[in-house]
Amino acid sequence: MSGSAPGEQGNARAIGVFDSGLGGLTVVHELRRCLPRESIVYLGDTARVPYGTRSAATVVRYARGCARLLVQRNIKALVIACNTASAVALDILQAELDLPVIGVVGPGARAAVTAADQAEREQGRPVRIGVMGTLSTIRSGAYAREVARLSSRHEVHSQAAPLLVPLVEEGWLEGDVPRLAIERYLSTLLKPDVGVLVLGCTHYPLLKSMIAEVALRLLGRPIRVVDSAEATASAVHELLEQRAWHTPNPEAALQLLVTDLPDSFQASATRFLGDVVGSAQAVDIMPADG
């Protein structure tokens, strides 16, 4: 993580957050809970969502375009609120940008290891970590790598669960269809020794209680569910503390930018943010990142 000090008045600059679409607003929800006096500028690349089914090369190209647009808005730190982009583009953006860049995978993996350590102490036997995410996130192996870097105690099982994103986008959060889809994914993922489940996609928190309920039924005992949105907000909080970059900004604002503004924007954004959203501004990503 690089980055020069933003200086006295730089503290009032906004935190930049981007995601492939609107799912990253679950991270904004946690950031606002944790840092209510910070301004946030959010970019949802709704013209090219989803990233999770695309090749790594294309995701890197798209992530660069999003980051560049936010940097031009004079942000003090950048949050990649997208597991797929964090998994494949975090290192690159950290190397290329002259400001702190935080992804969701690192904080999510740290929270998972902490939860697994605790479960292991309580249960007195090894505890594995299960990770659900998009195809690209799971294929990248980013969570397994990050967990291994932090601890050699916990093995990681992974399962791509691509259908959960469109289910959330469609607003089908209850009923048989999401429950059976979750059951189908979890019945592959959950072995008896999996004690912690990481929601490795910013869409999944909206299905959190149903995922916990299905896991309880399949395993016959409760499981710890780690939401990387919460963990990421804590990591940003820590960063601002360390650098004394907190802003006692009485006019903290949330600005929403999107690359495509569909009719369903308000309903969808409100669902992810857990709060009524105002209007969003449509922006173009620089052509070179097509």
Three-class SS of the chain: CCCCCCCCHHHHCCEEEEECCCCCHHHHHHHHHHCCCCCEEEEECCCCCCCCCCCHHHHHHHHHHHHHHHHCCCCCEEEECCHHHHHHHHHHHHHHCCCCEEECHHHHHHHHHHHHHHHHHHHCCCCEEEEEECHHHHHHCHHHHHHHHHCCCCCEEEEECCCHHHHHHCCCCCCHHHHHHHHHHHHHHCCCCEEEEEEECCCHHHHHHHHHHHHHHHHCCCCEEEEHHHHHHHHHHHHHHHHCCCCCCCCCCEEEEECCCCCCHHHHHHHHHCCCCCCCEECCCCHHHC
| Closest CB to a copy of itself among residues 2, 281 | 281
CB of 167 to a copy of itself, least distance (A): 7
Contacting range for a copy of itself; rule: CB under 8 A; set: 78-86, 159-167, 186-194, 247-255: 159-167
Residue in 34, 47, 173, 252 binding a copy of itself, rule: CB under 8 A? 47
CB of 162 to a copy of itself, least distance (A): 5
75 binds a copy of itself (CB under 8 A): no
CB of 70 to a copy of itself, least distance (A): 17
How many residues of this chain bind a copy of itself (CB under 8 A)? Answer: 36
CB of 189 to a copy of itself, least distance (A): 15
Question: Is residue 66 annotated as part of the catalytic site, yes or no?
Answer: no
Residue positions annotated with a catalytic role: 82, 201
Interface residues with a copy of itself (CB under 8 A) are 46-49, 53-55, 58, 135, 139, 162-163, 165-167, 169-170, 172, 175-177, 180-181, 184, 260-264, 284-290
